[in-house]
Structure formats: C-alpha cells, structure tokens
Amino acid sequence: MNRSQIVDAISNETGATKKDVEMIVTSFISTVKDSVQRGDDVQLIGFGAFKKVSKAARKCRHPKTGETIKVPARKAVKFYPGKAFTEQVNTKVKANKK
C-alpha cells in the first residue's frame, strides 16, 4: 500500500476529503521525522514505536573483491511493532465469502 492508497482508504473510511487527509498524513509523517531526528521516541500504543539508534563503526568485507572496508558510525531509525499489531499480523485472515 502506498501513500495515495492510504489517503484514499482514510478518506473513504472517514468521509473527509482527500485533500484534507493528504495534509494530515503529510503533517503526521513530518512530525514523526522531526521528533525522531531530535532523539525523541514516537510511540503509538497498539501500533508501535519509532526510535533513533546508534550504529557503531565497523569493518566488513566487500563480497565481490574480498577487500576489508571501514563502515563509519551512523544513526538509524528502527520501528518496533506493538503487541496488538504483532498479534493482528499473526492471526489468520478469514476469507470473505460472498
């Protein structure tokens, strides 16, 4: 599902205009990105959490040449799914019979 499909689905479910939903989705994404960039965790109960993590510098091997290369330290974002989300993903979906 891509961004426009998410906007369509929310618009259909809520009755809000696609323009309004697009503005809200854009604002939500911007807020999450800014918060995580500052180092704040973003937790959505029942869905999951976005957290900024540090990755240490390391050495690795280039698979094609076998040469050892240095990978610098960096920051990364991790998503930790919530319990309710994980349980929903792991339940079997019942087929809709028409």
pLDDT confidence of residue 93: 74
User: Residue 88 contacts by C-beta under 8 Å, 6 or more apart in sequence?
Assistant: none
Q: List the chain residues with pLDDT less than 50.
A: none
The predicted model scores a pTM of 0.77
d(CA 7, CA 76): 27
Homologous superfamily assigned to 3-90: IHF-like DNA-binding proteins (4.10.520.10)
* pLDDT of the residue at 27: 97
Task: Provide the residue ranges of all domains of the chain, joining segments of one domain with +.
Answer: 3-90
How confident is the model at residue 97, as a pLDDT?
Answer: 54
What 3-state DSSP class applies to 4? helix
